[in-house]
Each structure stands twice: as structure tokens, then as C-alpha cells.
Amino acid sequence: MAFDEAGFLGTLKFLEPDVIKDKKGRKKSDPDYDPSTLFVPEKFLNEQTPGMRQWWELKSNNNDSVLFFKVGKFYELYHWDADIGVQELGFAYMRGDFAHSGFPEAAFDKMASTLIEKGFKVARVEQTETPDMMTARCKKMGKTTKFDKVLLEGHEPFYMMSIVENVNEDESSTSSYGVCFIDTSIGDFYIGQFRDDKSSSRILTLLSHYSPVFVIYEKSAISERTQQIFKSVLCNVVKENIPGNQFWDGSKALKYLAENFYTHSREDGKEIWPETLKVMQDEGDHLGLTPKNIFKLALKSLGGILSFSVKCKIAEKVLNMAQFQLYIPPDENVSEDENITRILETTKDKIDNLNLKKKNMVLDSVTLQNLKIVEGENSLLNTIDLCCTNFGRRLLHHWVCSPSTDIKVIRQRQEAIKELILEPEILLEVRTFLNTLPDFERGLAQINVYGNPLIAKGHPDSRAILFEEKKFNNNKIQNFIAMVKGFESLMTLSTTFASFKSTLIKKITKESFPDLSKVLKFFQTAFDPSEAEKNGSIVPKKGVDQEYDDIEEEMENLNKELSDYLKEQEKFFGCRVTYYGSDKKRYQLEVPDKNAVKAGKQYVLESTKKGVKRFVTPETKEFLRRMMQAEENRANVVKDLSRRIYEKFSTNYNLWKQAMDCVSILDILCALADYAKNLNVFCLPEFVEDAEKPFIELEEGYHPCYRDDDFIPNGLTMGGDLAPLSILTGPNMGGKSTLMREIGLIIILAHIGSYVPAESCKLSVVDRIFTRLGAQDDLLAGHSTFMVELSETSVILKHATENTVVNFLADLQCRCLFSTHYHNLVDYFHGDKRVTFGHMACMVENDETDNPTEETVTFLYKYASGSCPKSYGFNAAKLAGMSNDIINKAYKLSKHMESIGLKRKIKSKLIEGGTPEEIKDLLKLLKACAV
């Protein structure tokens, strides 16, 4: 409040920090204090002008939002909102007794987007057409609720997520969650319910796969553990805690949907509830308003989304295009739940089985982070994301987070990518073409909003006065035309790929690609695009809209009557007679003076000009009345015609989406082909189905995300005829972690169907990748380094199978790469047939000296069989710049600790009856420890 503290606001006691209250009179110290509202005394309101009173009333209900308050052609910001405009948007204060800043209507997009990206909420207050020019809060926008005038750019989804928690009443100390999340720019709802473990691995994985930018939860209904997750994982995410009486439960959510969007049955007797929601309803309630017990939390989380959307006046926009999908944690076994099976069978993707979770590899939040799969400039996703379309990029994110374990799907993708690589000219042509396409996914959602009759009839947006309306309408028309032309251009794909043999290419360009020609023909011929862009409205051609055709015919007949009447008047006056005037003064009969003397009483003189007189008659007055009525009717039809055209386009949503889904897969296949072409070394992984023992064989593999020419390739074999567990040793900084990440990322690449950077790669299917790489405190979540390691290891122990790549558990016979500096472990497993040994090779000079600072280690970064004798940690200390005194002292301490361990081993061997040779070797090592 920089501008006002010594001025106007400084005189208002109800805004003093110790006095300020919410709308219900609760102070900040009250646990139920609602910061989104503000108490404003009635006496103060009565002293304000009508406009400022309205601002204060709106602010009292939306204290957490910046009000863009429409006055004429400008949006005004008052008081502390004005301060935000100055500080964040670079505005200048206007003259007056209180802080005041603003901007023209045309700049709304830029200003709203800027504040929203900075974490502010924006409430748009529009001037309406009611007689007293009252205002309505048209739209309240957080980071995810942007429509119409603020359109999201880029490909990243912006999820609004609602989370409901119930702490389980047993000894497990675990929680069950209901979750619902939506990218409001697209309209896909995901809804689900699951029980989590003590490590909260499922909720953490959800937040990693679908990173939200806005989170809704019920106030005082979230556990301390979940709050800690919010503070750590979602520290930069805007969060809204909604009081319990405003957070709808499942019954209220279903009731709202039934009354406003769905009825239980149609006239033909078929239910129209989305299958995902229908399965969640209790069969005993024929009205469908009672949730099943197993989905109460899920539907309550949906209630949170709905209550917030209604408050923000976006419910009609997101629900009119809603596609509901069931969210299932990646590690959940769905085969035993008939409710989930029923949903999957009715909603699964017809092209690529995207929703069948059991056929996808599980990558939890820890693995996503440790392997740098999706986050960061050098992540796997960022490396292979060469997609040309935004909707292709979104699908690729899904592929990477949930790689397929269906060998048939993988091989079809491999076959398609291989053929694309063999046809470089077609690959280049198609990628050039894909670059020209609009964002179909968000475009379909936008057009759905443009054509939504609920918004046109009852939403405050329909009453808003927009001085830049023609400009906004032009933008809508341009977007629509671009979409039509984009879909039209897709019709050539079947010809482009006519010679391809790939099963998947043929499926997505011909067999599963819908015939758009008939539907497109209507929109191609319905109106003149250039005229529509010029006039800011769509005028249909004849035969497109019957109501418009009827009005045009009426006006045509009326013009004929006017022409016939004019001929009668020329015959009556015996001279040439013309119509004169415009608007409400039209159709005056202009007659030369010398002939005007014939005019009788029914001719009323309206005006004169030198040489002519102008008359109106009862007939011309009636013509004018009828014409103005027809013009008004036509204007009303034209005004709604654009919306009806958009609505008609959206009735074919499933057709457009099917085409888009095909193109998004094609885009990914082309991107992966281009990725492979840019690799110096690459191969197509060979999957062995139903292998007797899980295995992976890699020869000369490179890290998928590093392109350095001096990168050293490595190969290894785990499983099959060899032991599946490999203990990896080697010097500090020798490349062990890099190798482990390389193996994990190559496996993921292989399972999305991609080529991999290696001379050869052969493997059986991997159903889950676990990692325990590195160590760090999770201070915000209240966990030490050791606790983090225990939690992550606990998850591994619980979920690992023989088809799992993991850094632990030899007994399970899963493929494991276990890196360690604990060389006693190497000794312990020596001779164990369940285990193989490998190390990162190095060359060492002055290895025998007792002064570790004289030791020189050259890293070879090459995997070799066998174990490394030690970790050469003192070399790492020297490279880090530690002083020689500290290194020498540490060396002596390490030798002392080593001698203690050796003495224990000697004692153990003596008790257990070790051979003389074993004891002799240990004594030699003990002697070497003396420094």
C-alpha cells in the first residue's frame, strides 16, 4: 500500500493490521479466518460513490484477487491493487486522492497473463448492458483458469488439482486420497481414489507425473504429513484452502452435474452420465446422487473442483467439453477391481491403449527425479522432445512417464520409426508439414467455449460491453479458420504414406484416421473467410442457416415491394422519383418541384431542397418499419450465428479428437526418428518375449542425454545366463552413477519404442525401475538423509518383482545394479553365484606410497568385469582442493578403521575354521594398514 499508507487508506481503521477481519468478522488470529474476504463497514460503504461502493463490495468477497474493474474502455485498478499494477506491471499512478492505475481494454491479455504467471489471481469486472450499468464479476482467474481472451501458449499442461485426504483408522499410519485434476485449457478431467503407503509414494508420483500449478484442498482436513509435502514438493505452487462449508462433497457434486449438465436418462432410455462417473455412483440410488463408498473421496475432490469453478464462473466452460478419465496409480493392480475394469474397457484409447495402466512401466517420483527423466534442460524428455506440435509434446510426456510394457505396441512403434528413418525425404516433408499445424487440442477446447450456448445465454460474459469486440471476434474467427484449414490439410497424410508397410503408420494415417471430408465440406463452404475476418462476424452462404435464409428472403421480397412501389410513384407523378434518406429517415420520396404539385393529403412533406420536395406516405412508413425489424432480426441472427457455427463444429468433437490423436502419435514417431538420426551410434532394441530369465545385454551404450564426442561408451550384461545382480565398484567420480543412469534411461527409451544410443541392445520387458541414487535431506518434509534412504529402500522392498530393475535384492533374481564403496560387501558376496562384479576402470600412479597426496588417478570411465580394490576417495579430496594435512589425517584414520575390520575378520575366520591361506592373506592386509 505504498501510495496510500499516509493518505486515504491510512485513515481507515478497519484496514489496520491488528483490526482487519474477514467478511464474517473473524480476525487473523482466528483459525477459521478467511483471507479471501474482507470486512468493510456498512457506514463506510454508504459514504462511497456508487462505483467505488461496488468496488469495495466486490473486494470484500474477493480480497485474494486483483480486480480489473472496467470503466468505459479501460480496466482500472484501485487502492492496493493499483500498487500491484505499478510494482508488477510497470503502471504509473494517476492523479487523485487514492492509488489508481489502469490500462486499455485491448491490453487485457498481456496484463492478466503477466500477473497470473507471477502467482496472482485476477478477477475481471465487466461493465454490462443493464440500464443502470451495474457490473458483474465475469471471471476470476488463477493460473489454470484462462479462457477466451487469455489463451495459454506453449505445450505444458497447467493442471488445477483438488486433493482430499482421509487418514486411515488402523495401525498403518497411512492415508487414502481422493484426487481430481484438470487442464482447463483442454477440458480433460482425471478423477481417482487410492490408499497410499507410509512413504506417500503414490501421491508423490501423482504430483511428479501431473505437476499442478494450482492446488485446492479443504481447510483443516489435510494431515501434517501431506502439508509437509505441499510445503516441499509444491513450494512454488499456488494453493487454495477452501472452508469445509464451501468445499462440496460427492453428493452435492453429483447433484450439481445432474441439474446442470447430465440427466439420468435420455428420451431413448440410454444413460448419458460419463461412464467414469456412472461407475462411481451407488446403484441403490436411481437418481445417481449418492457416491459409492469406495469413491467418496474421489467425488469429493471433484466437488472441490466444481465449487471453485462455479465461484470463478468457469464451470460452464470446463464442463461443457469435459472428458472424464479414471486416474489409477501406476503401481495399482487393476485386474481384481471390476469397477475399474469396467471403466477401462469403455474408455480405453482405441489407437494405442494409452489408459491400460497395467501394460505400462511404473516410474515413481523418486525414479523420475534421480534419473532426470522429465525435469531440467538435460532431462530425457527434453532431449528426445523434437515434436513439431504442442499436442504431440503432451502425449510424449505421457509415453515417457508411463513407458509401454506391451511388446506388440513397442514393436509396432519400432517398425514405424525404422521405416521413417529409411525415408528421409518423407520424414523431412512430414515434419515440415507438422510444424504448420495449430494446437488442435487447445483449439478444440477454445472453439467449444466460443460455441457454448450456456455462456451465450446466461453467463455474465454475454452481457459485458467490449469496446474491442470486433477485434476479439476477429481473433476467434482467425483461430477457427486456422483449425478448419489445419484439419483439411491432414487429408493428404494417407497419400503421403501410401507406400509405407508399417502397421502403426497405416493405422494412424488410414485405418483409424477418420474421414473428415464430409464434415469439412460444410465449414469450407458455409461462409466467406475473408469477409468474416474483415467484418468480425460470420455471414452464412445460402442454404447454411434456415433462419438467416428466411430473413434474407423476407428482405429481398421487401426490396422488391419497395421497387414496385417506386415504379407506381413514378407513374403517378409522371417523372423520375427516387428514395432519399438513411437509417430512420429512409424511403423519403424525392420528387421534382414541378411534379410535386400532384401530391395529395397522404403525401406528408418531410424536407425540401432546391428543385425537389421529399415526402413520406403511410406505405413508406410501413416499409421502413418492416425493414428495420428485418434488419434487427438479421443482426440478432448474425450475432449468434458465429456461435452456432462454432457449436456445430464442436458437435463433431470426437471426430476431430480421433484425427488429432492419430497425428500426435505420428508426430512422436517422427520426432523419435529424428532423434535417432542425430545419434552417432544407434540401434533398435531387441525384446525377447517370455524370456526364461529376465536379462539385459548392452554393447557400447552411450548416455541418451549427452552428445559429447569424448563420451566413453559402456556395455554390460545382467541376468540371463549370468547373475542378475551386479555389484559395481570403482573410484569416486569414476562414472558409476552416470553408468547406472545411462542403463535406466536406455531401458526407458527402449520401452517407448525408440532407437537407443548403443551398438546393440537386447532385453526382456522391465515392469518397473527403482533407484536409490545419491542422498539428500528432505528438510521441508521433516526427513533426514538416512530417513529418505530408508523410505526409498522400503518402497523397493515392497514392490520389486523379477522383472524389475533395482539397485538391491539379489534373492528376488531381478536385474540389479548395486554401486558401493563398501568393499566388505564385495568380500561377502565373493563366490556367490547370484552375484557378478563390475567396476569403473582407472589407471593409478604411486598406488603403493603411504602418502595419499602423491597418488594420481586417471579415470577411464569404462566398465570392466571384476571389482575395484578401493574407491580412491583421497584423490577426490585432492581434486576438491582439500589441504594435504587434512587428507593425510583422514588417510591414517581410514587405515585405523580398516585394521579394526580386518581384526574382526581374522577372529571370525579363526572361530569358523578358515583356511591357513585365508588367514595369511588377512594378516598381510592388516600389516599393510600400519602407517
Contact partners, residue 502, CB within 8 Å, separation at least 6 = 412, 415, 416, 419
100-104, strands of its sheet edge to edge: 100-104, 74-78, 65-71, 121-127, 135-141
Q: Rounded to 10 degrees, what is the CA torsion of 476, 480, 486, 491?
A: 180
169-206 pLDDT, tens digit per residue, is 776 778 999 999 998 888 889 999 999 988 889 999 99
Q: Mean pLDDT, to the nearest integer, of 34-54? A: 88
Cell numbers for 126: 465487466
Outline where DSSP puts E strands in 168-312: 175-183, 188-195, 212-218, 238-242
Cell numbers for 526: 458455409
pLDDT value of residue 621? 94
Question: To which H or E segment does residue 137 belong?
Answer: strand 135-141
Query: Residue 707: phi, psi to the nearest 5?
Result: -110, 10
Residue 638, classed as helix, strand or coil, is: helix
Poorest-pLDDT segment among 53-57, 405-409, 423-427, 662-666: 53-57
528-574 pLDDT, tens digit per residue, is 888 887 777 788 888 888 888 999 899 999 999 999 999 999 999 99
Residue 905 neighbours by CB distance under 10 Å: 18
Confidence tier at 271 by pLDDT (50, 70, 90): low
* Residue 355 predicted with pLDDT over 60: no
In whole angstroms, what is the distance from residue 568 CA to residue 602 CA? Answer: 15
| Between residues 789 and 227, the one the model is more confident about | 227
Q: Which residues pair with 278 in a beta bridge?
A: none
Q: Mean pLDDT, to the nearest integer, of 389-411? A: 95
Q: Identify the residue whose cell numbers are 462411481.
A: 280
In whole angstroms, what is the distance from residue 577 CA to residue 843 CA? Answer: 110
Confidence tier at 809 by pLDDT (50, 70, 90): low
In whole angstroms, what is the distance from residue 510 CA to residue 145 CA? Answer: 36
In whole angstroms, what is the distance from residue 199 CA to residue 572 CA? Answer: 98
Q: Are 114 and 89 in contact (CB under 8 A)?
A: yes
Mean pLDDT of the chain: 83
Encode 209-246: b = buried (16+ Cβ within 10 Å), e = exposed: bbbbbbbbbbbebbeebbebbbeebbeebbbbbbeeee
If you compute the radius of gyration of the chain from its CA atoms, what whole number of angstroms results?
A: 36
Helices (H), 805-883: 823-829, 873-879
pLDDT value of residue 238? 86
| Between residues 386 and 168, the one the model is more confident about | 386
Q: Are 663 and 389 in contact (CB under 8 A)?
A: yes
In whole angstroms, what is the distance from residue 237 CA to residue 163 CA? Answer: 14
pTM of structure: 0.79
Cell numbers for 562: 419497395
Q: Identify the residue whose cell numbers are 482487519.
A: 20
Confidence tier at 313 by pLDDT (50, 70, 90): confident
Q: Are 753 and 410 in contact (CB under 8 A)?
A: yes
Cell numbers for 550: 428466411
848-888 pLDDT, tens digit per residue, is 666 766 677 777 888 888 887 776 666 666 766 777 777 77
* DSSP codes joined into one string, 870-918: ---HHHHHHHTT--HHHHHHHHHHHHHHHHHHHHHHHHHHHHHT--HHH
* Residue 337 predicted with pLDDT over 60: no
* Residue 131 predicted with pLDDT over 50: no
Q: Quote the percentage of the chain above a pLDDT of 90.
A: 38
Poorest-pLDDT segment among 489-498, 617-626, 918-927: 918-927
In whole angstroms, what is the distance from residue 424 CA to residue 422 CA? Answer: 6
Q: Are 20 and 26 in contact (CB under 8 A)?
A: no
Q: Are 70 and 125 in contact (CB under 8 A)?
A: yes
Confidence tier at 575 by pLDDT (50, 70, 90): very high
Q: Quote the percentage of the chain above a pLDDT of 70.
A: 83
Q: Which residues pair with 589 in a beta bridge?
A: 579, 615
Encode 24-39: b = buried (16+ Cβ within 10 Å), e = exposed: eeeeeeeeeebebbbb
Q: 827: closest CA among 910, 753, 907, 902?
A: 902
**Pairing state between β 238-242 and 578-580:** unpaired
What does DSSP assign to residue 46? H
CA distances from 199 to 59, 362, 371, 808 (A): 42, 16, 19, 18
Q: Are 840 and 862 in contact (CB under 8 A)?
A: yes
Cα(first)–Cα(last) distance of the chain, in Å? 69
Residue 455, classed as helix, strand or coil, is: helix
607-617 pLDDT, tens digit per residue, is 899 899 999 99
748-794 pLDDT, tens digit per residue, is 999 999 999 999 999 999 999 988 765 544 433 444 444 555 565 56
Contact partners, residue 635, CB within 8 Å, separation at least 6 = none
Confidence tier at 307 by pLDDT (50, 70, 90): very high
Helices (H), 490-583: 493-496, 503-506, 517-525, 529-535, 546-573
Q: Mean pLDDT, to the nearest integer, of 73-80? A: 87
Q: Please, what sign has the CA dihedral across residues 475, 480, 486, 488?
A: negative
Single-letter amino acid, residue 554 = E
In whole angstroms, what is the distance from residue 687 CA to residue 754 CA? Answer: 12
pLDDT value of residue 812? 67
Q: Identify the residue whose cell numbers are 452464412.
A: 540
714-719, strands of its sheet edge to edge: 686-687, 760-763, 695-701, 714-719
